[in-house]
Structure formats: C-alpha cells, structure tokens
Amino acid sequence: MPLLGACIPGSVDPPSLPAPSRSAQATEGSPWGTNTFLHKEVEAWKREQTLTMIKGAGFVWIKQQFPWEEIEQPRKGQFFDVKYVQGTWDKFDELVRLADMSGLKMIARVDRPPAWARLDKTRPQGPPDNLNDFGDFLFLLASRYKGRVNHFQVWNEPNLGEEWTGKPDPVGYTAMLKVAYRRIKEANPHASVLAAPLAMNVELGPIHLNEMDFLDQMYLAGAKGTFDILSANAYGMDRSPTDPPSRQTLNFRR
C-alpha cells in the first residue's frame, strides 16, 4: 500500500503530482507500508513471523487496526475479556512490542465502537452516541503507547453508509475529528492525527457520498485544523497514475 493510503496534507483540489510537502516528509524514511490486522491472528508465532516478513520485504510502516470494541469492554472504563478471561490490552501490547522489535513504525487505525457505546444495534459500525466516550478512549490509547505509536487514524471511510449510520454525515465526522484531535494531543502533543481515508466513489447519496463532496462539506463544517494528515485510499483501479484528474473516473488523481 503506497504511502499508507497516500497520506497528504489536506487540500480540496486534486494534486498534480507535486513533490512531497514537509508534513508528508515527516513520515521518517521510506514511505512504504502495509495494512495489518494482526489482532485477529490467534498464534503468537504467526504474528511475529508476519512482522518479520513485512520488514524483510522492505516496508517501514504498518497500519494496525485497534478496534475500540475489543479493548474497552464489557462497559466503559473496563478492559477485560470475560470470554477468554484476560485483559483486553494484552494482545495489543504484544503487537506494539513486536513492531518495535521488528523496527516497524505503526499507525493505529481506531474505529468500531463497543456495544455499550451505541444504543442502535442495527448499525454497530457507526459512531458512538457520545463522542466524549471515544475521546476518552483515544486519550487512554495515545497515553499508553506514547513514544511508540505516534500516528492515529480516526475511523475509516466514513463517506460510506455502512461505516457510519447508514447515511454519510460529513458534519458528524468532523465533530468526531475535533474531539479526537483534542484528546490525542492532550495525551501526546507530538502525535500525528490522521483524518480517515475516504472511499473512492461517484455517488451523491443517500447511502454513499463521493469523497470530493464529503471533503468539501467537512471543510465547511470546520475540519481545518482538526487533523495533521489527510489519508487517501488511492485505488487507481485499471487507470494510469498519469491520467488527468476527473470527478467521474475512479483513478489515482481524482
């Protein structure tokens, strides 16, 4: 995954392949990385081997999911897995340790609210009823891994209905970003906050909204200053990276 989703500074207009800005260059060394979901791997040796292979392939970065629902359970302020009778931080502590040992830098992708945080169980992937609950969790997460995990992606593809409440809400996502940015920076002033990558599409709603309009509406809602890096899922499909920008075409330079 080049540039971990092509993390670029926030800009509404499509770039014309400029040189990386200073903030983009802050990724320290190689820009190459890959997504990982190692919390789903049961066997410890496989987790370790996977990270060794990633490092051996020349990658420097991983983006690892930290599902809120798996950590803060069974209720707010509790971190214990009743089913497996163990602390919920344990496996994530191990992942951070293994990434350190492998010489890999980690971006934490944080999403998926726990059941106690949402009354509407028909949309379990949507935002929490109280954004401050999410902010509290992000503060704990950023505090726990301060100095080891310094990049945090807030949610994923919120312009898709299934990632929100069935209907994209740029204003609602911007409100989430504001809370997330403040609480992460309180825990670690040197952390970088990544706005979620938006899903490429050409739809105008109501279930999905194209990333251009969603981003425009985020800025109208006050998104400027609520993140350090704007992530992008740069799926070029079958198009050349040199194809001109087009709102009606799913290509690299939309």
pLDDT given for residue 5 in this prediction? 45
Can you read off the two tokens belonging to residue 73? 């359970």
pLDDT given for residue 21 in this prediction? 42
**Is 126's pLDDT higher than 60?**
yes
Contact 110, 64 (CB under 8 A): no
Could you report the per-residue pLDDT of 35-89, keeping only the tens digit for each? 999 999 989 899 999 999 999 999 999 999 999 999 999 999 999 999 989 999 9
Entry pTM: 0.85
In angstroms and rounded to an integer, the radius of gyration of the C-alpha atoms of the chain is 18
The three-state secondary structure class of 89 is coil
Per cent of the chain over pLDDT 70 is 88
**Is 6's pLDDT higher than 50?**
no
Can you read off the two tokens belonging to residue 205? 């709603």
- Sort residue 135 into left (φ over 0), alpha (ψ -120 to 50) or beta: alpha
pLDDT given for residue 172 in this prediction? 98
pLDDT given for residue 161 in this prediction? 94
- pLDDT-based confidence at 23, cuts 50/70/90? very low
Among 11-15, 39-43, 90-94, 136-140, which is the least confidently predicted range?
Answer: 11-15
Instruction: Tell me the sheet residues that pair with 96.
Output: none
pLDDT given for residue 25 in this prediction? 44
Could you report the per-residue pLDDT of 191-209, keeping only the tens digit for each? 999 999 999 998 898 999 9
pLDDT given for residue 236 in this prediction? 78
Q: How many CA atoms lie within 13 A of 168 on its CB side?
A: 24
d(CA 164, CA 159): 8
pLDDT given for residue 29 in this prediction? 62
**Is 187's pLDDT higher than 50?**
yes
167, exposed or middle or buried, with CB in 10 Å at 0-12, 13-18, 19+? middle
pLDDT given for residue 7 in this prediction? 46
- DSSP state at residue 206: S
Residues 6+ apart with CB under 8 A from 6: 231, 232, 233, 234
**Is 186's pLDDT higher than 60?**
yes
Can you read off the two tokens belonging to residue 157? 């593809």
Q: Report how far apart, in Å, the C-alpha atoms of 153 and of each of 5, 110, 160 are.
A: 11, 6, 17
pLDDT given for residue 238 in this prediction? 83
Q: Report how far apart, in Å, the C-alpha atoms of 130 and of each of 90, 126, 135, 227 are.
A: 26, 12, 9, 20
Can you read off the two tokens belonging to residue 80? 């214990």
Could you report the per-residue pLDDT of 98-117, keeping only the tens digit for each? 999 999 999 999 999 999 99
Mean pLDDT of the chain: 88
